[in-house]
Every structure is written in C-alpha cells, then in structure tokens.
Amino acid sequence: MNNPTKRGHLRTSLLCVVTAGLAVASMVAVSGAATAASPRAVKASHPLKKGLKAFVIPKNLGNSYFTTADSVKTQGALYALKQLGEVGTETSGMAATPASQIPAIQSAISRGANILIVSATDPVALCTTLKGAMKRGITVVTYDSDAPTCRDLFVLQASNQGIGDIEVDVIAKEMKDTGQLAIVSAESTATNQNTWIGYMKTELKKYPHIKLVKIVYGNDDTATSTTVAEGLLTAYPKLAGIISPTSVGLPAVAAVLDTAKYRGKVHLTGLATPLEMKKYVLDRTCPEFVLWNPANLGYLAAYAAVNYASGAITNKVGQSFTAGKLGKFKVGADETVLLGPPFIFDASNIRDFNF
C-alpha cells in the first residue's frame, strides 16, 4: 500500500456502499463536495427560469459513460433538466473528435439553444463555436472535459490531481513498484485525459523503478483501443503495467489481457464504469479501477447551467447554489464546480453498482 492515507479514506467511503439500490445514493452521501452555506450566507433564492432549451453534448454518443451521465433513466443531466422544467436534448457526433462534435454544437445553436452543456473533445478546437454561442447570450457549461477559455463554468467530476495520482498508486502497488508502464488514453487532444496524464507523470516520480515507456491513443473507440493495445504489447514484450484512463479504453484493454497469451502477465488499472468492468475485476485481469458517479456529474452540470442561465449565480469564486438531491455547491477557482472525490472499485464492491 503506497499511499495509506488516501487509500484508507477511499476504503472508508466505499464501506458505505451496501446494495445496488443504495450505491448511487451513498456515493453522493460521502462525496464531501456539497458545502453547507452558513445561515448568514443564505439569501432569498433567485427564481430559476423554466422552459430553457438545453442541449447536453457529450464527447460522443454510444459511450455508456456518457449515457449514464446524461440519461433520464439514470437521473443524469436530462433528468435534472426535466425536474427543473427545462427542455433537455442530448446530441453529439458518433466519434469523440472535434470534427464530429462541432456540427452537433452548431446545430444546437441554430435550434435556439439557451444552454450548452459540453464535454470537450479538444480544449481549443471548439472555441470559435462556443465563443460565438456565448456572444449570443447562450450559457456554456463544460462538464467532464473542459475547454477552459471558452465557457462560463466547468463542472469537474473529481480533483484532476486526485484522479491522476490514484491510478498511478494502484498500478504501482500491482506492479510491486517496478517495471515498464504504458498508457492507453482516449483522443490525443482530450483535455481531461491529458490533464490526468500530466499528474500521473508527476506522481510516477515517487516510483523510480517504474518507467513510462509509451502513451498510445484509442480515441474512445473500442476497435482502435484494442488495436493500439495489441500493438503496445507486441512492441514492449516486457511491459508490466497499463493504465487506461478512459471508460472505453479500459474494458477494451482488459479484453486483450484476458486471453491465454497475456493472462496474469500485465497489470491493469484505469477509469471505467463498473458494469463494464465487473467480469475483469472478478477474474483479476483488473482487480481495481477508479471512477466517480457519472449520473451525478450530469445532474450537477444541469443544475449549475440552469442557475447560471437564470442569473441566480455568476462564475465568481464563492457563488453557491443548490443542486437538488446533491445539496449545496460552491463555485471554486477557475470557474469550476467540483462534484467530489474519486472512488476505487474492486471485488469487494463491484457487485453493488448498476451502471
């Protein structure tokens, strides 16, 4: 155990998770992100506008992480919008690329959007379109993956450093602090993965016997992730560990490692949804991985966006709002609202989650 304090905290948090039904609620209860406002800080609540046209635009469609973050069924972004009396629509392209996502953003604008909630495939390529939207008075909120210079607010799933550090600490423990490590990421332009990889490189300095030999990109596409993982294993026959910080990449890499040729030879961790990883956790291809509650991320992004579009909050540090069942949140530095800490999933809790 390389970081007992952090791991201990996460373990304690996960002990609260007892049944599939309660799991999601418990992740909220222990998130620690909701900040109770002092009685003095509570003002008469500003009325929220109703009937706003809100478009939820994930990196791409067909990715179960975003389906969970956005859907009514999972109580994600579209559910929150419905609760608030807004008109919510999910739209995007099929590939997690700016070329595929930008036309969906443009179409949302021409369909009369009041709010855009976007997971950015690129920190800059979307900016002309998003800045154009902001000039027209459209509220632009990024969630999951940021475009820092061209949005009003960013709703962040968990501390970026926390996400990077914990993945390195998990793989280092599995690798017994030694050997060649590679990363199978998403798009090479993805703001979130690149930020986490930056923190991973810093955290790796704590493990001088682990060498990061290669970063490859599976583009949040299963077939591409499989191909690049296979290429990696061929090019680096001594590879001892892989981190895949993407919910599409991690199950794809796990499927490659869960074969006679590689079974038990290469350690694996990363980010993914629990249902997609259950098999690989239980057969020990990937004993531990990390995520947060994607539905709560979408839900929080919707509340933040509607509060901003209604003039109930600005994006200044300390502005606070209530996000329905999640409680009160505050705008922090860099116009960012934080959901909570990341979670480790393992054999002790993997059966408890239904997303």
Q: What's the min distance (Å) between Cβ of 209 and ligand RAM? A: 28
Q: What's the min distance (Å) between Cβ of 220 and ligand RAM? A: 5
Q: Considering the complex, state which of residue 164 and residue 179 has its C-beta at the smaller distance from ligand RAM.
A: 164
What's the chain's length in residues?
Answer: 355
Q: For the CA atoms of 283, 286, 292, 293, what is the dihedral angle to 10 degrees?
A: -30
Backbone dihedral region for residue 270 (phi beyond 0: left; psi -120 to 50: alpha; all else: beta) = left
Q: What's the min distance (Å) between Cβ of 227 and ligand RAM? A: 17
Q: Considering the complex, state which of residue 63 and residue 101 has its C-beta at the smaller distance from ligand RAM.
A: 63
Q: What is the 3-state secondary structure (H, E, C) of the chain?
A: CCCHHHHHHHHHHHHCCCCHHHHHHHHHHCCCCCCCCCHHHCCCCCCCCCCCEEEEECCCCCCHHHHHHHCCCCCCHHHHHHHCCCEEEECCCCCCCHHHHHHHHHHHHHCCCCEEEECCCCCCCCHHHHHHHHHCCCEEEEECCCCCCCCCEEEECCCHHHHHHHHHHHHHHHCCCCEEEEEEECCCCCHHHHHHHHHHHHHHCCCCCEEEEEEEECCCCHHHHHHHHHHHHHHCCCEEEEEECCCCHHHHHHHHHCCCCCCCCCEEEEECCHHHHHHHHHCCCCCCEEECCHHHHHHHHHHHHHHHHCCCCCCCCCCEEECHHHCEEECEHHHEEECCCCEEECCCCHHHCCC
Q: Considering the complex, state which of residue 272 and residue 312 has its C-beta at the smaller distance from ligand RAM.
A: 272
Q: Considering the complex, state which of residue 78 and residue 118 has its C-beta at the smaller distance from ligand RAM.
A: 118
Q: Considering the complex, state which of residue 86 and residue 220 has its C-beta at the smaller distance from ligand RAM.
A: 220
Q: What's the min distance (Å) between Cβ of 232 and ligand RAM? A: 18
Q: Which residues form the interface with ligand RAM (CB under 6 A)? A: 59, 63, 65, 119, 144-145, 186, 190, 192, 220, 246-248, 271
Q: Considering the complex, state which of residue 195 and residue 320 has its C-beta at the smaller distance from ligand RAM.
A: 195
Q: Considering the complex, state which of residue 86 and residue 90 has its C-beta at the smaller distance from ligand RAM.
A: 90
Q: What's the min distance (Å) between Cβ of 316 and ligand RAM? A: 26
Q: What's the min distance (Å) between Cβ of 90 and ligand RAM? A: 14
Q: Considering the complex, state which of residue 101 and residue 180 has its C-beta at the smaller distance from ligand RAM.
A: 101
Collapse the DSSP code of 180 into the 3-class scheme (helix H, G, I; strand E, B; otherwise coil) and give the result: strand
Q: What's the min distance (Å) between Cβ of 250 and ligand RAM? A: 8
Q: What's the min distance (Å) between Cβ of 172 and ligand RAM? A: 20
